[in-house]
A and B are shown apart, each in its own frame.
Chain A
């Protein structure tokens, strides 16, 4: 099958699978809906483009600086209102609700099989009517302190935090998403209200729904929540996290109670401009081409018991930051890191095997279709694409059009040793 046939095939076959409807309300809120015939549940995600790496902004001309962990703290607090806890309201509808915070977003979700209108009302009202007091903030600091400690015991989490610290001197990605016990102690109601005024404006948010629901139903819920009218305007300027050019810290080592050394070999890449789907796809693909399960390097590392089966590469991309990291456990972590570096050099010189490239592309196509099968994944995929500044159709299109020459071109500038770091966790003496 030629490249052209593959491209046309992907476009034609995926067209139905990625269908969705959307509208932008007068308040500025974007509503996305994927109606899924035959499904009985609905998943809704109400998301704001405000995550842990947004730390400096001006609100109506007034500068605001946030301590680490603010977005995550806010996520916890949004479930509380003067009338009580949103979980209590969801308990009356049977919905399963949750929320999570990432580097560039905070998302509030529910899955429900009935009382969809009521559940949408709870979701939109709880996020639309923030309520903070000194007392409720103090109580939450205890719970979040426990959460921070839980992550402190995770070697994978500590590894990621370590490599961000090596690669970036100023970028807020250096700090844990949940912050520290000390940083969240600085939070006040005024600071949290400044954040909701700036980032929980409808124009900065997206409501994405999938399953047994129509766009009209979602829009009607927005209308009931007053989101069909122009929203009070605030002038918000977010200080962009600038790209960093200084050489990174070459390595970092620390110890934890683990059985075997854990390691990360990571590369700082040029930040990917918002909406540049092709570069996003290339960055996602690269780790699979270097040491994914289909490569000869992975096989060698696995068969020689040099790494754990979960050894893999991953890409993290957010405003002002892009990192490709290879992480795993090994008795000989430096040797494994050396083999990964050699493979990158070889690929740069010899080029990627075209068959491997096509297989990885096939896999990505299958993954996109699989993601659209469940209501949760579908709503999340729609919202994620929107927050990245594109659509699922753009992603399919970009995937279809990528060629092996594109990836070989990317390899000439990406995964550069000048922007590389190595982090290792040694087993702590018991």
Chain B
């Protein structure tokens, strides 16, 4: 059960049924074009916004306010949608009926979420200099911490080689070298750009959507808006495979990340075809990678495949024995080749279908799952349909479509993080 309506140009409100849940949730998505020059401002902004807003500028006071609302969860995050960025503010807390003294909790949730987006705490027309200084340091620490998680580090290093200077390669977390250039004024300029150019989607689950709509229109009255269209899909060109190896002393399990490109943004596959192809190749416990590379050959502890439709990329990442990278790579490529050339059995198609359809059914039992499902459709520019419709589409995908889709990928980049040779020899 859902309803989506346009409130203003580039502004939409979607109401989703949440009768059975203990909590309610309000999510505000602002989708806007990413720019290399302001990527670091964009990365600092969510950290500053999450500290507070004009009505409640102090970070600890806001934390206490949320605790008073029985531990309501507030999140301010930046994500990607192809070459675009999505700034998301969401708040989730228990429903009014569970409040111990009859408080109107959902109204307070809406006030906080809209306060964060539309009424930031400003000092002399720019963001609070103290907050900006602190959050620049926080981002700096986060960027450095990437190295501590070797799996994530390997994936990001591979992506950097794969996307190069393409718009899809603009770092979501920004750039350490650009941090000194971020100021309260540059941050305000980026905030203004986002507010003005973004497509705004508000999703309401279990709260009073009429009140939320009124509040949203009221806030928008003060904003000059020129919403931009979503960025088109893109794909990196086909190249000869490039291999990179980074030796890090002390690593006990090597990481391998392999990236593939479709080479063209034309003829995009449906999301159902993509889900089935990844499920059969490496996205589930019945996939070829899991069964053959992990279980039969014991070449890695994890080995999974995923793909992004909007940037034409497919990724396989795995954890392997140091020194065993080439063997694992060959085994992964063989599985892909077998699927591309040989038959995809109806049994593995059925196994994959059942798993995906069961997952879609489960979406309806989670506030976050439902929200992601519907916003995913909005982000792809599709008409909204419930997860049940997704099940119908999954059933219609054929083995030949899976084979064709996997055939469209060309091997592009392989990045390995491993222990140095001396260490491997020991």
Contacts and interface: CB of A to CB of B under 8 A. Distances in A.
Interface stretch (A121-129, A298-306, A319-327): A298-306
Contacts of A293: 60, 63
Interface stretch (A144-152, A217-225, A415-423): A144-152
A312 interface: no
A165 to B, nearest CB: 18
B2 interface: no
Contact of B94 (A38, A147, A295, A366): A366
Contacts of B20: 36-39
Given A40-B361, A150-B319, A257 B70 contact: no
Nearest to A212: B365
A10 B99 CA distance: 9
Contacts of B60: 293-296, 298-299
B253 A153 contact: yes
B228 interface: no
Chain A interface residue bracket vs B: 35 or more
Which of B249, B361, B365 counts the most chain A CB atoms within 10 A? B365
Interface in A4-48: 5-6, 9-10, 13-14, 17, 36-41
Contact of A41 (B22, B23, B353, B362): B362
A364 interface: yes
A350 interface: no
Contacts of B253: 146, 149-150, 152-153
Given A93-B354, A113-B358, A143-B294, A259 B144 contact: yes
B405 to A, nearest CB: 21
B22 A95 contact: no
B172 to A, nearest CB: 17
Contacts of A364: 71
A170 interface: no
Interface string A101-139: 000000000011110000000000000000000000001
A90 B97 CA distance: 39
A428 interface: yes
A142 interface: yes
A362 interface: yes
B68 A260 contact: no
A367 B365 CA distance: 18
Contacts of B124: none
Interface in B271-329: 285-286, 294-295, 298, 300-302, 319-321
Interface string B231-261: 0000000000000000011111100000000
A47 B62 CA distance: 40
Nearest to A8: B100
A302 B150 CA distance: 25
Contact of B134 (A36, A40, A305): A305
A185 interface: no
Contacts of A14: 98
Contacts of A160: none
Given A38-B20, A258-B147, A91 B285 contact: yes
A365 interface: yes
Given A294-B60, A296-B60, A428-B250, A363 B67 contact: yes
Interface string A353-391: 000000110111111011011110000000000000000
A17 B138 CA distance: 38
Interface in B189-203: none
A40 B365 contact: yes
A308 B141 contact: yes
A153 B251 CA distance: 6
A183 interface: no
A309 interface: yes
Interface string B337-375: 000000000000001011101110110111100000000
Given A139-B298, A294-B67, A96 B359 contact: yes
Nearest to A295: B60
A118 B13 CA distance: 41
A429 B130 CA distance: 34
A336 interface: no
A373 B358 contact: no
Interface in A248-262: 255-260, 262
B129 to A, nearest CB: 13
Interface string A271-303: 000000000000000000000011110110011
B276 to A, nearest CB: 14
B145 interface: yes
B148 interface: yes
Contacts of A374: 365-366
A359 B250 contact: no
B63 A365 contact: no
Nearest to A364: B71
A238 B115 CA distance: 57
Contact of A365 (B70, B286, B320): B70
Contacts of A94: 353-355, 357-358
B124 to A, nearest CB: 20
A309 B141 CA distance: 9
B64 interface: yes
B59 interface: yes
Contacts of A62: none
A276 B313 CA distance: 53
B354 A362 contact: no
Contacts of B251: 153, 257
B145 A308 contact: yes
Contacts of B141: 260, 305, 308, 329
Given A294-B67, A364-B71, A430-B249, A112 B366 contact: no
A247 interface: no
A219 B258 CA distance: 47
A298 B67 CA distance: 15
A347 to B, nearest CB: 17
B23 A369 contact: yes
Nearest to B143: A259
A6 B68 CA distance: 12
B248 A91 contact: no
A399 to B, nearest CB: 12
Contacts of A294: 60, 63-64, 67
B371 to A, nearest CB: 14
B137 interface: yes
Given A92-B354, A363-B71, A299 B59 contact: yes
Interface of B: 19-23, 59-60, 63-64, 67-72, 93-94, 97-101, 130, 134, 137-138, 141-142, 144-145, 147-150, 248-253, 285-286, 294-295, 298, 300-302, 319-321, 351, 353-355, 357-359, 361-362, 364-367
13 contacts: A14-B98, A38-B19, A97-B285, A111-B362, A143-B295, A150-B253, A257-B249, A260-B144, A296-B60, A299-B59, A302-B138, A362-B71, A366-B70
Given A5-B100, A366-B70, A375-B365, 17 more contacts: A6-B100, A36-B20, A39-B20, A40-B361, A87-B285, A111-B358, A142-B298, A149-B319, A153-B253, A259-B144, A260-B141, A294-B60, A308-B141, A309-B138, A329-B145, A369-B94, A374-B365
The 5 closest A-B pairs by CB, nearest first: A94-B354, A113-B361, A366-B71, A366-B70, A38-B20
